[in-house]
Each structure stands twice: as structure tokens, then as C-alpha cells.
Amino acid sequence: MARTLQDRHTRLTVPLEQENIEFGLFPSPADERLHNLLDSTSRTSRWILNMFNARFFSANVYHDIQSGIPDRIGNNSVLQRFKKLENDNHQWDSDARIAIPYQTTAYIVGDHPRPEGQKYHIYRGFWSETLWNKHRSVIIILNQTLLARLGAANHAIGTLISRPAISSNCG
């Protein structure tokens, strides 16, 4: 029964979850309750937990950026949180390569192979393809979020440094 509930929840929420991560929306109370019910030893549960944590990270980062408060934007704890999420996703990736394998094949048109680096993946089915693509999209979104935060921090620090210089030159 619990497995069916998790699989059903995964099918229903994954498309919306990715959009919510991209928009930097905080998880709903229902999402938080589900988060507390999931078994962290299950690969499917860890995948959902990684998406939940990425959503929470993204929402916090964009909330900090929108606040415009330099102390919140320039706080280095974001790098520690990002590294933790990156490690969690890397661990899931390593485990899933064994349980949900795919093949990497060179792209060939007719008798002419494409230049090196042109490769594609062959999956066992739609579900495994969806899992891997969602997993990779979360990693991309995490990196985009970190870059946005670092860009905002750089701008905030540049603004703080240039203000005293401008006021001292004017006076």
C-alpha cells in the first residue's frame, strides 16, 4: 500500500514540482507532511526528497534575492546547503545507475558517425527516462539557482563597496 501511495504521488506531483522549483515557490504544508512520511531508504522516496529539498533551496534563494538585504544575499551558508544537495543528488545518481541503468550510444546517421561527444541515452522504458530527465533537470535548476544567488551577491557587494567611494568623492 505504501509503495502504491508513493508511486501515485510521484506520478501526480512530479510535473508540478519541477515548475514550482523553477518559479522558486515554497513547498506547501501538504508537501511538507508527505516529506515527513517518506522512507529515506527507498530510492523513489529519496528522489522525491531530493526534489523537495531542491524546491526549498530554490525558494529560499529567490526569497533572499528578492529581499534585497545584502546580509541575506551575501550569506555563505548557501554554498554549504548547495553542496549537501549536490551530494544527495550524486548519491542517488550512483545508486540509480545500478537499479535503473541506461546505455550511452554514439549518434550515427547512415554510415557516418557524428563527431566525438555526440551521444544519446537508451532507456528501458518511459518511466526510467522520466526519472533520469527529472533528476537531471533538478540538478540544472539547482545550478541556475546558485548562479542567480552568486550573481545577486556579487551585485550587492559591488553596491556596498561603491557607495562609500561615491559619497567620499562627493564630499
* Short-list 124, 78, 66, 74, CA closest to 97: 124
Question: How many helices (H) and strands (E) are present in the chain, helices listed first?
Answer: 6, 4
**For position 83, what pLDDT does the model report?**
95
Taking residues 115-128, report their average pLDDT.
80
Query: Using one digit for the tens of pLDDT, what is the confidence trace for 1-14?
Result: 333 334 444 443 44
21 burial type by CB count under 10 A (0-12 exposed, 13-18 middle, 19+ buried): buried
**For position 24, what pLDDT does the model report?**
66
* Short-list 106, 101, 94, CA closest to 125: 101
Higher pLDDT, 67 or 27: 67
pLDDT exceeding 90 applies to what percent of the chain? Answer: 19
